[in-house]
Each structure stands twice: as C-alpha cells, then as structure tokens.
Amino acid sequence: MPGKNLSREEAQQRAGLIEVESYRVHLDLTSAPDPAAPTFLSTTTITFRAATPGAASFADLLAPGVRSVTLNGRELDPAQVFDGTRVALDRLEGHNVLVVAADCAYSRTGEGLHRFVDPVDGETYLYTHFEPADARRVFANFEQPDLKAPFTVSVTAPAGWDVYANAVHESVEEQGDARTWRFAPTRPISTYLTAVVAGPYHVVRDHYSRELPDGTRLEIPLAATCRKSLAEHFDAAEILTVTKQGLDFFHQEFDYPYPFGKYDQCFVPEYNIGAMENPGCVTFREEFVFRSKVTEAAYEGRANVVLHEMAHMWFGDLVTMKWWDDLWLKESFADFMGSYGLIGAGTRYRSAWITFANRRKAWAYQQDQYPTTHPITADIRDLEDAKLNFDGITYAKGASVLKQLVAYVGREAFFEGARRYFRRHAFGNTVLGDLLSVLEETSGRDLKAWSSAWLQTSGVNSLTPQVTCDAEGRITELAVLQDGGTPRPHRVAIGLYDRDETGALVRTELVELDVAGARTAAPELAGRPRPALVLVNDEDLTYCKIRFDEVSLETLRTGLGDLSSPLTRALAWSAVWNLTRDALMPARDYLDLVLRFAGQESDIGVLQSLHQQARTALDLYADPTWRAEGARLLAECALRELRAAAPGSDHQLAWARFLASAADGAEHLQLVAGLLDGTARIDGLAVDQELRWEFWLTLAAAGRATTEAIEGELRRDNTASGKQRAVKCLAALPTPGAKAAAWSAVVDSDELPNALVEAQIAGFAQPDQRELTAGYTDAYFELLEPVWAQRSIEIAMRIVGGFFPRLQTEQSTLDATDAWLAAHPQAAPALRRLVLECRDNLARALRAQVCDRG
C-alpha cells in the first residue's frame, strides 16, 4: 500500500515542517465483545504548528474506513484525502486543528489494538502494541518518534471493564452498559509509546514512595494485571518486589525522578514480543505468568525484562531517539540495565552476568556474523528496515559494548554521563553525538575513536592467546592475537587456570590490559609457569569470540566441567559453541562435552542453553550419517541425568524437558507415555500441565499420539495456552495430511491469530520428519513475495523465518535459496535480509557438517 512504509527522508521533511502541540484521542470500544464487529470508532484531534503556511503534508492512518476529516474547520472528503495509509493535508496554516474520525480494525496479529477472547470464560481482552509504527492503526497521527506531544486519551468501554492508559484516569462516567474513562494528559511522548489496555483484567495494586533529594516525596501508584483466568497463577508480589527494587536503584543511579506518574505492568495475551516500555503502562507477554513449574532461569529472565522496561522510562521514553537509526540509544542501554540492575538493585538473581555472557551474547555473535549485520548505529531507510532492527545487534551487542564502555571509562563517568544526558534532553530527542558529548565531558576522554570502532563498524573480533615457553615450561611471552574484521581497542582481563589439590580448575592469575591491533603482548605474565588454561576475556569485559591455544583447548576437552567458577564455565561453554558454529570443532566433539559435563553444570540458565545448543548441534551441525548415533547418546544422557537430578529441583525439570526433546527409541517413548498416564513416576518430578504438553509433543512427533488423544488433552486444558500447545502437537504429527493442514492454515488464510500462526509453524518442522517436509521447499520460495505483500509485517516475518527449510541441510536447498535471491534482486530489502540470514544459517550448517565428517 502506498505510504505504509514511511521513509526517513519523509520523516525528516515532516519534522522540519510540523510541530505538534497536542493530541486528543477518543476510542469507542463498546463493540469489542461482539466478535462479528470488525472495527471501533476512533476520533483524533491534533493541534499543530506548520513552519510554512500554505505547505502540504500528511497524517498517518491505517484504517478500513474514514468517516470524516476536518482541517481548520474545512470538511475534507475522505475519499479524496485518504488512501488507506495516509490522510493528505494541504493549505496548512501557521496553527492547525485536524480532526479525523475513523473506523479502525481490531487486530489479530498483535499489531495495533489486539482483541483476544479467553476460551476459559468467554471474556474479551484488548491491548495495544505500536512500536515501531502501529499507533496509526488505532488513531490518526504523525507516526515518527521525534514529533512528541502530550496525549489526552478517553475510552468508552463496556461497563464491567477496566481501562489502563499512559496516565492516571481522572474520571469514569457511567453511560448505561458502558463507561467512559478520561485520562490525564501525558507528558510529551512519541506516538509509538502510547498505550491502551482494556478488559475485565485482574489487578493487584501497590504503592512506591521515595524521598527526593530536594526533600519532596515522589509517590508512584503501582499495578500489575493479567487475565482473570490466569489470576490463580499470578505471583504479583514477586513482580512488584523487583519493581520496587528497580525504582530504588534507577532513582539512585539516574538522579531524575520517574516522570510518568503511575506505573502499571499489564501481562497480555498473544503478545508478539517480550514486553514494551509504554510510559506508565508497560505491557508484557503473559507467558511470564507461569502456569506450571519453571526454573529459576525463567524468574530471572522475567525480572530482567521488568528492569529492562523500567530503564526505558528514562532511556527511550524521557529521552527518545530522533529516528530508528539510533534505536540502540534506548535498546542497548535497557538491555545492559536489565542485567546491571539485577545485580545492582539487590534482587535475588545473582547470575545475571553469567546469563548475559552465555545467552545474551550468543544472540549478538550469531547476528553479527550474518552478511546482513550492521553497525550498532544503523542506517534505517524506512519502517521496514526499522522493524528488522530489533535484533541481536541493537540489543545484545549494544549492551555488550556498553559493558565494555563501563570498563573503559569507569562506572562513575558512565553514570554521571547518563545523569547529564537525562537533564539535558528530557522530553526531547537525541542522536549518537548527544550521548558521546556527555560521556566525553564526564570521562575526560575523546570517544571518537572508540565510537567509530565499536558503534560504527560491524562484525565480531576473535581473541586468541599465543603462549611461548622456555625449556622449563615458563612463559617467555603471552600475546593476544586479534582477528576477524576491523581490529578494535579491547579492555580485557586474562585469566590463568590450573588444577588445585582437589582437581578443580581454579584461577591462579588475572591481569587486565588494553588490547589493540593484531597482536598485543602481556609482559606481566612472562616468567610464570605455563598454565593448564589461558582464558582471554575472563570476566567477560569485552565483546569478542574467545579462542584458545592448543594446550588450553585440550584442558577444556578433558575437564571443562572441573572449572570451579560458574562465569568461567559459562564463557568456556560459549567459546566451544562458537568453535562448533564456526566449523572449527566437530559437532560430535561438542556433543561429547555436553554428554560428559552438562550433568556437572550448576547454573540452570547455562544448562538450559546447553540443551538447546545440543539439539541444534545434532539437527544441523552433525554429519547426517552420524545423527542416529548422536541422538541415541543424547537421549541416554538425558535419561541418566534426569534420574540423577535432585527430586523436585530445577535441574530435574530441565532434564525432563530435555528428555522430551531428545527421546529416541521405544524405551524413552514408553517412559514419556508412562509419565503422562501416571504408570511411570520419577521421584519429585511433577508432571504438570506445561510438562504434559511437552510430553504430548514428543509423542505426537514420533507418531505415538492420535488426534483424538491431543484433543482430549485440550479438553482437560481448555485455555489459550492449551490451544496453542494442541495446535503445535497436531502440526507435529508425522503424516502428510498434518503437514498440509498446518501449511495451509498459515499460508492460505489470514484468519489465524499471531499465536496460532506461531504454533502451526513450530509444529510443522520436526527433526525426524525431514522427508515429510522436503517437498515444501519449492512452495516456500513461491510464497515469499505474495506473503510479504499481503500479510502484516509481523506475520510475514514469522512465515519467512519459520517456514524456511532449515532442516533440509543439503546443497540443493542452498542452491534453491541462491536461485531465489538471484532472481529477486528487487524484492523488498527487509524480505531479502530475512532470506539472506536463513541462507547463512544453512551454509553454516553445511560447513559444520563437513567439519564433523572429518
């Protein structure tokens, strides 16, 4: 559709012309409970200034229909001025009032105003999600982050509902079966940050209070909400505890009072992402309301997200990037603050930096090695580019680089820089230079070279120790070699490790140094005895791939699990995983490390990522002729460790899930079936609803579950989550009919909501069903362009990424991908980017298989 994909240039021009004074938005949501009602009435009044009277511009609006458009009292004909994506505005005056009344659509894709009906009780729930540019699906506006304004929102909703928005409500007026909620004006915020959450939500209220440095008191009402049918599982007290710890911590670090009044945290259904930092009205995916037992890693992950979104109240909401090129200005900081805050705020999650090193950075390393990688400060031409940039670079690499910056300029200079940045740019918009200038002021350092090395170039460096010794086995020189792309300045710590009297591998020496260029010597280590292991980037200060000298690698092969420090082990696991991905370590060697040492891993988050990586190594990186043997070994390991794990422990649950994923052969499947029907037991293992669905998926994919049995389980768990799980199980059945049905449900209709699209795709491709799905490769390439043109970008991204034949690890799949890319140079750049990344994963798998073949 013309005008849907707003470009940076158009946004710049419009910002040069227009200054928005205020928005008034009224939404009439009384039609929402009627599933046959496709739309709601949205009325927007925008007052704005135009720098050039007489000029023309446009407002953004994605709506099925427009009832009226009035500009400065002139009635404009909607048929003339509205093209489906934009409202054309001409003859602007110095001061303007625009009123647009539109019929906007309820969403099923999680973009705009999403509508969900709870199968448990039939209740309807609504919430908005707008980033980067979907507020225009709900009200007419100027959809770009640098046109900030105060919003005054009112909502008419069914009488039994609560309504949440960015500000507190000032009045609620009864009107028969409906109530109108009027909210206070917000501070100036960007359109993508506005939010409305409406429905019969369950709510838990609390309060935060703090004395400010000037002696006044800051009072913040707190609320946490979820659907009524999830209330029994809602541990709001834990969420609110982390919330208060975070508010204490960020006030202390940022020295700028929380600017948005109240703080609501709404857990909402069928949410596309983890969470969104709407000022005063944060939305989270409701999978964070745990229905069944989860491990401590899941609680830590949720607490991290709570703090990430809270950090955005300052980084992003108070001070906002001018355009999506500088998305990192908010996401990298929030991502860093998520982990930093878990430790700094004194939460119970002490493993935050281990998780960061092992899981978060893996995402960055993966993304940064795609041919599509980009500098942290990106070149974002338009909104489709923006949509794809919520990626491992903007979040995880950016956060890693900030961690490195703290090591480089020091903690105090870093936070004093942040404090100045907030004071100087409050309620405004910024670019990279605004941040660098405050950091240069507070650190006294010239950061231009640092910025160009770290923020303005792409790619990941590898750091390798080079150890030379004399005849007595003493180090004559230890140097760090840097390769892989542009060399960067790295502040690193180098750890030396040896076995102690108990056999544990412990650190005997740690030195910090600045690595620069291709080779940097560490003279202070000369003369020391040659250690069993040299670890560059110990303590995980910098962002790099860690490599090893041969002696060190051999030490890991024989004793990785003997490393006593959990952070060191996490770094070692991460390094051997990178070696495997880079076809420098055979997949079967990596799996051998998992088989021997995963059982010793104490950190539950690291263990769970080992489980995922083992699965990937087997499915993609191992020589196909060895796969059956590898599968047998992994399944045996899973069962052995499950039986050995402490009853009721997180480790036991993680191994049970891994058994579900790795079960191989009749004995394991029989055990899984027995755990489901109660004829088998493992002491302390509660086979609760989520674990039941894991086991059903195992049986379904193996052809040991009938459609009737899966539907029977759905009757037992007739919930939103149950429905998603059942759909996934049905799609996983090993029959041509099941595959055809899943494919068709996603591709041939746009009736399915986002969550069920995801479930169908997740069930469709199963590792042991390669032959069943091989025939879909051609169909996949044929659907790419139509899907991109016809479906919302959120759904299109899932189909393009999810249906790529990633398990068909053969040269012919690579050839088909290359043929499509060669034949479609003009396809949308964002679509090509997704296909190029899938291609790269496949090429990597083929290289790894060659390595594994030996």
Q: Which DSSP helix (H) or strand (E) runs through 755?
A: helix 754-764
CB of 338 to Zn ion, least distance (A): 9
Compute the least distance from the CB of residue 305 to Zn ion, in Å.
9
319 binds Zn ion (CB under 5 A): no
Find the part of the chain contacting Zn ion (CB under 5 A) among 27-35, 213-221, 327-335, 689-697. Answer: 327-335
- Nearest approach in angstroms of CB 333 to Zn ion is 9
| Binding flag, residue 276, Zn ion (CB under 5 A) | no
Measured from the CB atom, the residue of 179 and 330 that comes closer to Zn ion is 330
Q: Token pair for residue 828? A: 């949308």
CB of 297 to Zn ion, least distance (A): 20
How many CB atoms neighbour CB 834 within 10 A?
21
The closest of 623, 632, 681 to 656, measured between CA atoms, is 681
Longest distance between any two alpha carbons in the chain, whole Å? 93
Q: Is the dihedral of CA 435, 441, 442, 448 positive or negative?
A: positive
User: Considering the complex, what minimum distance in angstroms separates the CB of residue 192 from Zn ion?
Assistant: 12
The total of other beta-carbon atoms located within 10 Å of residue 728's CB is 24
Closest to Zn ion by CB, 196 vs 329, is: 329
Least Cβ distance, residue 308 to Zn ion (angstroms): 6
Measure the CA–CA gap between 290 and 8, rounded to whole angstroms. 40
Q: Of 372, 387, 379, 392, nearest to 788 (Cα)?
A: 387
d(CA 851, CA 553): 17
Q: What residues form DSSP beta bridges with 590?
A: none
DSSP string, 328-373: HHHHHHHHHHHHHHHHHTT-S-TTHHHHIIIIIHHHHHHHHTSTT-
Give the C-alpha separation, 382 to 342, whole Å: 35
Residues 6 or more apart from 79 whose CB is under 8 A from it?
none
- 313 touches Zn ion by CB under 5 A: no
Smallest distance from the beta carbon of 395 to Zn ion, in angstroms? 7
DSSP tag of 82: B
Residue 281 or 727: the one with the smaller Cβ distance to Zn ion is 281
Phi then psi for residue 24, to 5 deg, are -120, 125
CB closer to Zn ion, 267 vs 696: 267
User: Smallest distance from the beta carbon of 330 to Zn ion, in angstroms?
Assistant: 6
- Our CB check for Zn ion shows the closer of 264 and 331 to be 331
Closer of 383 and 610 to Zn ion (Cβ): 383
| Bridge partners (DSSP) listed for residue 96 | 48
Residue 27 near residue 196, CB atoms below 8 Å: yes
Question: Does the annotation count 9 as an active-site position?
Answer: no
Binding part of the chain for Zn ion, among 326-334, 517-525, 611-619, 654-662 by CB under 5 A, reads 326-334
Q: Select 334 or 733, whichever has its Cβ closest to Zn ion.
A: 334
- 334 or 614, CB closer to Zn ion? 334
* Catalytic site residue from 277, 309, 601, 837: 309
Q: Which is nearer to Zn ion, 331 or 758 (CB)?
A: 331
Check binding of 544 to Zn ion (CB under 5 A).
Answer: no
- By beta carbon distance, the residue nearest Zn ion is 334
By CB under 5 A, the residues from 585 to 614 that bind Zn ion are none
The span from the CA of 791 to the CA of 271, in Å, is 17
Residues 187-246 that bind Zn ion (CB under 5 A): none
Minimum distance, C-beta of residue 438 to Zn ion, in the bound complex (Å): 21
The region of 13-21, 164-172, 333-341, 570-578 touching Zn ion under the rule CB under 5 A is 333-341
**Beta carbon nearer to Zn ion, 338 or 561:** 338
| Binding residues for Zn ion, total number by CB under 5 A | 2
Least distance between Zn ion and beta carbon 378 (Å): 15
How far apart are alpha carbons 620 and 809 in whole angstroms?
Answer: 7
HEC sequence for 374-407? CCCCCCCCEHHHHHHCCCCHHHHHHHHHHHHHHH
161 φ, ψ to 5°? -95, 160
Among 138-146, 176-184, 297-305, 325-333, the segment contacting Zn ion (CB under 5 A): 325-333
**Kind and range of the H or E run holding 23:** strand 18-28
Site residues (CB under 5 A) for Zn ion, limited to 334-363? 334
* Whether 127 contacts 198, CB under 8 Å: yes
Q: Does 761 bind Zn ion (CB under 5 A)?
A: no
Which of 766, 768, 708, 696 is CA-nearest to residue 732? Answer: 766
Which residue, 110 or 158, is less far from Zn ion as judged by CB? Answer: 110
- Which residues lie below 8 Å from residue 634, measured CB to CB, with a gap of 6+? 591, 594, 595, 614, 618, 662, 664
- Within 546-585, the residues that bind Zn ion by CB under 5 A are none
Segment lying near Zn ion (by CB under 5 A), choices 324-332, 368-376, 565-573, 651-659: 324-332
User: By CB under 5 A, what part of segment 368-387 binds Zn ion?
Assistant: none
Question: Residue 266 Cβ, how far from Zn ion at the closest point, in Å?
Answer: 16
CB atoms near residue 478 (< 10 Å): 26
Residues paired with residue 58 on neighbouring β-strands, in sequence order: 88
Question: Is 402 near Zn ion (CB under 5 A)?
Answer: no
For position 845 contacting Zn ion by CB under 5 A, the verdict is: no
DSSP-assigned letter for residue 646: P
The residues, any chain, with a CB within 8 Å of residue 825's CB and separated by 6 or more, are none
Residue 333 or 621 with smaller CB distance to Zn ion = 333
Strand 57-60 to 86-89 pairing: antiparallel
We find the least distance from the C-beta atom of residue 253 to Zn ion, in angstroms, to be 17
CA dihedral 208, 209, 212, 218 (to 10 degrees): 80
Instruction: Decide if residue 329 touches Zn ion (CB under 5 A).
Output: no
Q: By CB under 5 A, which span of 131-139, 185-193, 330-338, 766-774 interacts with Zn ion?
A: 330-338
What are the angstrom distances between the C-alpha of 477 and each of 467, 470, 519?
A: 6, 9, 12
Q: SS3 of 212, please?
A: coil
Interface residues with Zn ion (CB under 5 A) are 331, 334
Q: Which residues are catalytically annotated? A: 309
